[in-house]
Amino acid sequence: MGQYASKNDEQELAQQQEYMKKAAFYVDGLRQQLGRQPLCCVTTFGCQMNARDSEKLLGILTQIGYAATEVEAEADFVIYNTCTVRDNANQRVYGRLGFLNSMKRNKPHLKVALCGCMMQEQTVIDKIRKSYRFVDLIFGTHNIFKFAQLLVTMFENQEMIVDIWQETDQIVEELPVSRKYSYKSGINIMFGCNNFCSYCIVPYVRGRERSRDPKEILQEIERLVADGVVEVMLLGQNVNSYGKNLDTPITFAQLLQEVEQIEGLKRIRFMTSHPKDLSDELIDVMKHSKKICRHLHLPVQAGSDRILQAMNRRYTKAQYLALVDKIRTAMPDIALTTDIIVGFPGETLSDVEETIDVVRKVQYDNAFTFIYSKRTGTPAAAMENQVPEAVVREGFDKLLKVVQDTAKERAALLQGRVMEALVEEVNEQDASLMTGRLSNNMLVHFPASKSLIGQLVPVFLDRCHGFYYTGYIVE
């Protein structure tokens, strides 16, 4: 991003702040009409980047006078921040919209907005215009920074507002953010993706890669640390290719070294890493880091070279396994997690056996397994040999069992050790326990006071329960 774009972004920021003042005027009118503070409910579908976008939406909504609620039926403004990676995410949104339609009939002042990746698809917009005409506002992934302006347009018009951009080079990140957690935060370091895996809709809905200026990222993290954040998650569709399109190129490994220097920051996480771009430099920086968590999410997607080639993943099974060996040699204690797709067009049960072989060799600490979902507009959707459901299910069930068995074996290796945990929240099942997260991303539950939330404490891992531990704080 050059100086010109940066100046543009400053002007955009000032403009959006003016729109926030104008939007606050309309929300105040609603407050007087209702005799109480209006409530908003933002529901997130999808990835960490969507979760971060939702924090931005909520930041602006609270700034202009809404109070947040998690109870949709109470809300005066409902926003769905959508995902379109798999078809079932789309279907869930349509299902929820039916409920909102009846809610709006009983509450005419209710506003409904849809945003996120699903909205970048023209077929979705056509369907909403036809079948869900009560929706007030629709916008996509590229113009989220214009949310205040879109709100004003919505308040001043009766008809549905649809504002979808196909792409942008603008990055405006200094708008208000309402963080879900006081002690940890996601940070967008880049947007978009250039990889075009044949099954994936993301490059079409998120656009091409755009990296943020490193100085802006570091300043944002410094502000967060000053506000009590001890752990940051650096977010991008493929963080390993960060910095390539900047006026002064910088590698992701170099950015991590800069982040490491920030005083008061205790932990650094990042996702997602594409195996083809994971450099020796990054492995070396992780190995010597005191702050980068011992966890790496490294999506393999498949173990068959034939399927990997059809997926346009640009590495072979042997190359992936060699990379894992390199990572494990440098950091024997690292936790590796992955994504796997079963049922890609043309995949046979013997191809699934190749994937199972990778799982056995790598010994993942966890794997997110998905049944292939046909996304219109991707090359894979037009491929012949779409796999019958019964074959997919057979392969999926077999893979899932191996994934679960190997992950349990990996988890059990930590029993009897003392490890540092970030105290995150009161345990959902037992209020006398707190839930903490280890550097390797595993959860541990232990007796403690909620005054410790946001602090790092040494915990003895007493008992492994498959995918989590119970233990106690060691003084």
Residue 375 near residue 199 (C-beta atoms within 8 A): yes
Considering the domain architecture, whether residues 71 and 206 belong to the same structural domain is answered as no
Domain end residue (candidates: 244, 270, 293): 293
- Does 442 reside within a domain? yes
Residue 234 CB neighbours (<10 A): 22
Within 13 Å of residue 432, how many CA atoms lie on the same side as its CB? Answer: 4
96 lies in the same domain as 11: yes
CATH code at position 60:
3.40.50.280
**pLDDT tens by residue, the chain, 475 residues:** 333 345 567 788 888 889 999 999 999 999 999 999 999 999 988 777 788 889 999 999 999 999 999 999 999 999 999 887 777 778 889 989 988 998 999 899 999 999 988 888 888 899 999 999 999 999 988 778 889 999 999 999 988 988 877 665 555 566 667 778 889 998 989 988 888 889 888 777 777 888 989 999 999 999 999 999 999 999 988 899 999 888 899 999 999 999 999 999 999 999 989 999 899 999 999 999 999 999 999 999 999 999 999 999 999 999 999 999 999 999 999 999 999 999 999 999 999 999 999 999 999 999 999 999 888 888 998 998 999 999 999 999 999 999 999 999 999 999 999 999 999 999 988 999 999 999 999 999 999 999 999 999 999 999 999 889 999 999 8
Whether the Cβ atoms of residue 421 and residue 456 lie closer than 8 Å to each other? yes
Q: Are residues 159 and 191 in the same domain?
A: no
CATH of residue 429's domain is: 2.40.50.140
DSSP string computed for 90-158: HHHHHHHHHHHHHHHHH-TT-EEEEEEGGGG-HHHHHHHHHH-TT--EEE-SS-GGGHHHHHHHHHH-S
Q: Which residues of 202-215 are buried (b: 16+ CB within 10 A; e: fewer)?
A: bbbbbbebbbbbbe
Number of domains in the chain: 4
Whether the Cβ atoms of residue 297 and residue 256 lie closer than 8 Å to each other: no
Give me the domain span that covers residue 436.
418-473
**Are 265 and 281 within one domain?**
yes
Instruction: Single out the residue in 264, 293, 322 at which a domain terminates.
Output: 293
- Flag whether 281 is in a domain: yes
Q: Is residue 300 part of a domain?
A: no
